[in-house]
Structure 1
Amino acid sequence: MTQGMDRRGFLRGGLALGCSAAAFPLLSHATFASAPFDHRLVVVILRGAMDGLDVVRPAGDPRLRRWRPDLAATEGPALDGFWQLHPQLSGLMPLWQAGELGAVQAVSTPYRDKRSHFDGQDLLEAGTAMDTPAGLYRDGWLNRLLQGVPGAEAKTAFAIGREALPILGGPAPVQRWAPDTDMRVSPQARRLLEQLYEADAPFHAAASTALELTEMMTEPDDAAMMAGGDAPAMAVPLPPEAPKPGPEVAAFARFAAERLREDTRIVALSLGGWDTHAGQAGSIRRPLANLQQLILELRAGLGPVWGKTAFVAMTEFGRTVRQNGSAGTDHGTGGAMITAGGAIRGGKVLGRWPGLAAGDLYAGRDLMPTGDVRAVAAWVLHALMGVDKARLEQTVFPGLRMEPNPGIV
């Protein structure tokens, strides 16, 4: 093999390197093209319907414990005189105090009454209304955003994870990456790749990152970790009593940080495990650990770029106000969003609080939504990227009426 061999041709040629091509999605010059804006956006879909009343607790409302005698029994760190954070997220309190963590309560998509995970997530990622004709929009709202951004062919967005992310689906080009289930690279192949990219600093760094991630995801005790054993070493240690995050969380965060420190501007991924119908006090701890670790790893990995970053986590709907007979909660309506990053105005819980009196509940059972998830996202895009309000209301989120600016960014 000659030294002048084309690098991209080498990968496209399908040489048997003993590793999935998914380990090297970034070895393309297009990935490093310029972006038309300098801020970064991380959107996380919390699949399964996160219980916003448990994560961001209205502890100052005396009705909370009446509706939830078990779930509200423990005290979490106080955010202010009314709100508490779930104790599993205590590690995020330094961000709250620094104004780098926030929340929006009593929000939802336009989805109502049917409470199906599949339909709710479809609407959340499409960014449309319930009365939008089926099939009219076959792309996600982040992809529609990219379609109108000058230089969108630069591929400034990444979809991270194994499952589909319809939020980025559509004609605008995006990059995709997932830690493959079998990405082992032989020592000979590793040496070959290192020599091949040695003279090209950006490509050498990208290949090294991909190779490190393959090793992280294929340690001999992977099966034990998936069954609940120890996870790989993380950049940010967890308290010993906390549940360990899933083994992919650090890989997701590290890969996202690597790209966002370069020219990628938008990253989308999803975290599951939020469908807490039974034993919620225990079952919600692992997904909360994943969320906390993702935020902390991103903050550590992004360094100074964190100051330009907005992190927005959203879910398909909230959960019932009253705990059920299995000490869990069922599918509801109003819920919460979690925001983080140096680009957001944190240190406060936004949203108009509807109250927990029986007459204040939606359908007599759910938190009444007083805000639209799409409006929150639209204001982030408007402030972060300068997207025109008319385009946000008519194209990115068709039919949306942006409410007064909540001052989230």
Structure 2
Amino acid sequence: MRSKTNRRAFLGQVAALGCSAAASPLLTPIAMASAPGENRLVVLILRGALDGLDALRPVGDTAFKALRPSLSDGGTPLGDGFFALHPDLSGLAPLWQAGELAFVPATSTPYRDKRSHFDGQDLLEAGIAGDPAQVRDGWLNRALTLMPGTTARTAFALGRERMLVLDGAAPITHWQPGTELDLGPQARLLMEYLFTQDTLFAEAGRTALEMGSEADMDTRGPAGEVLARYLAEQIRGETRIASLSLSGFDTHQWQKNRLRPALRNLQTTLLTLRAELGALWARTTVLALTEFGRTARENGTNGTDHGTGGMALLAGGALRGGRMIGGWPGLAESALYDRRDLMPLSDVRAYAAWALHDMFGLRASDLTRTVFPGLDMGDTPSLLL
């Protein structure tokens, strides 16, 4: 495997974590870093703009059913019954009851109005407000520079071009087609899965991994399970901070059917992490974030279009869960952003900042200056137990 070191190296070795312009998780599937202490942070990027109004249904809002006639039925009630989990997330109800699951409804990055997946993802992973063209590195990468004792783990970038996820002050490992890989069993399983799902990389991947015969992926589990098992193996070792992507959340048409596999995959990822980590789950926090929400009204093809306010999902045994965090703006037309989208009431970056503050002791002044420049963190949401 070829190793390339960024000229702006800092403090020795730091893992490459951060932004990606790639829409496909097959291009930037996973990145990891070790760090001092026993707390674990996992960041899930939900690519495609998850519809938070479908995943977490505000059934107690009188405007909801009229806006979503084909998308409002069913769900598992949470709390006082105002919100209900999408039926394909019902397996997460035990986490809610155990205080290991929380939601931030009506939240977003500062990105507004243009509603581009690529720009929205870049700004989400960069942790900045402003021009996407100014994206240079990612907020996890910058956070690692503030943690003494952080060392490099692994970052995969599959393809011939340097990926934005690898840009920053960190040494990185970049794999290109034609290069042989020496990976452990779980890493090979992960790569086999990714290559067999994408014809663009299938031939190169089989060459690199020297797979020989192709086994049926159904015997290995769904994508979320494969990714989560591999990630859990790393977290049981030296890894303390990790980021990975899940896709399939762009649902312009026939959302009722198209969203289900992505939600089941998200649920499987979380439940597999919980099961595989065992006692370490109590030291783990998961942040599931998406680039923006979707329109409050369903469209003429029974889907939803790019919107503004979305939802963040938080999970983990270290979490003070079983609650909704933040307020609710309502779905009356006068309460909507531009009369079309859920109005964001909070900056989702603040919850990532507080997670870093509470888990790793990073100072608020460093977080708002270096990691999330210009962010107002506001009052603490008391994320952790």
TM-score by length of 2: 0.79
- Please state how far the C-alpha of 1:160 moved relative to its aligned partner: 6.0
Are 1:320 and 1:332, in contact at CA under 8 Å, matched by a contact in 2? yes
Counterpart Cα distance in 1 of 2:320 and 2:76: 20
**What's the CA shift for 1:408?**
2.0
Give the match for residue 93 of structure 1.
Answer: 93
Residue 311 (str. 1) matches residue 310 (str. 2)? no
CA contact (8 A) 1:142 1:168 kept: no
Paired residues for 1:147-226 under 5 Å: 147-152=145-150, 154-155=151-152, 158-159=154-155, 162=158, 166=164, 169-173=167-171, 207-211=184-188, 213=190
**Aligned partner (choices 223, 226, 230) of residue 255 of structure 1:** 230
Aligned partner of 1:343 among 311, 318, 342: 318
Asked if 2 retains the 8 angstrom alpha-carbon contact of 1:32 and 1:263, the reply is: no
| Structure 2 residues not aligned, in runs of 5+ | 3-30, 203-215
1:204-239 deviations in whole A, cap 9, x for unaligned?
xx83434555676789x999xx9xx973344xxxxx
- For the 8 Å contact 2:105–2:327, the answer to whether it is kept is yes
- The alpha-carbon distance between structure 1 residues 393 and 211, as it changes in their structure 2 partners (threshold 3 A), is closer
1:232 maps to which residue? Answer: 219
* Alignment coverage as a number of residue pairs: 339
1:377 maps to amino acid: A
Q: Secondary structure at the match of 1:114?
A: coil
Residue 249 (structure 1) shift: 2.5
8 Å contact kept, 1:278–1:329 = yes
Q: Which amino acid aligns with 1:314?
A: L
The residue aligned with 1:78 is: 77
Partner residue in 1 for 2:112:
112
Which residue identity is paired with 1:283? R
Give matches, 1:115-154, under 5 Å: 115-130=115-130, 134-135=133-134, 137-152=135-150, 154=151
Deviation at 1:255, TM superposition (A): 1.3
Compute the displacement of 1:407 (Å).
2.0
RMSD of aligned alpha carbons: 3.2
Residue number in structure 2 paired with 1:50: 50
In structure 1, what is the equivalent of residue 7 of structure 2?
none
Question: What code does the residue aligned with 1:308 have?
Answer: R
Q: Quick check: which has more Rg, 1 or 2?
A: 1
What SS is found at the alignment partner of 2:242? Answer: strand
1:389 is aligned to 2:364: yes
Residue 69 (structure 1) aligned with residue 56 (structure 2):
no
State the shift of 1:297 in Å.
1.1
- Aligned position for 2:271: 296
Distance 2:343 2:298 in 1: 16
Taking a change above 3 Å as real, the CA distance of residues 293 and 161 of structure 1, as seen in their structure-2 partners, is farther
Cα distance change of structure 1 residues 165 and 261 upon mapping to structure 2, 3 Å threshold: farther
What fraction of aligned residue pairs are identical, expressed as a percent?
Answer: 52
Q: Which amino acid aligns with 2:260?
A: R
Please, what TM-score do these two structures have when normalized by structure 1? 0.75
1:143 and 1:167 in contact (8 A); partners too: no
Change (3 A) 1:173 1:230: closer
Shift of 1:351: 1.6
Structure 1 letter corresponding to 2:169? P
Cα contact 2:102–2:313 (8 A) shared by 1:
yes
Distance between the aligned counterparts of 1:89 and 1:284, measured in 2? 11
Q: 1:319 to 1:262 in 2, by over 3 A?
A: same
Structure 1 counterpart of 2:121, which letter?
Answer: Q
Q: 1:213 to 1:61 in 2, by over 3 A?
A: closer
Distance 1:325 1:267, change over 3 A: same
Runs (5+) with no aligned partner, structure 1: 1-10, 13-30, 186-192, 194-205, 235-244
Q: Give the secondary structure class of the aligned counterpart of 2:130.
A: coil
Equivalent in the alignment of 2:332: 357
Q: Is the 8 A contact 1:146 1:172 kept in 2?
A: no
3-state SS of 1:284 partner = helix
Distance 1:172 1:296, change over 3 A: same
Q: Within 2, Cα distance between the matches of 1:370 and 1:394?
A: 22
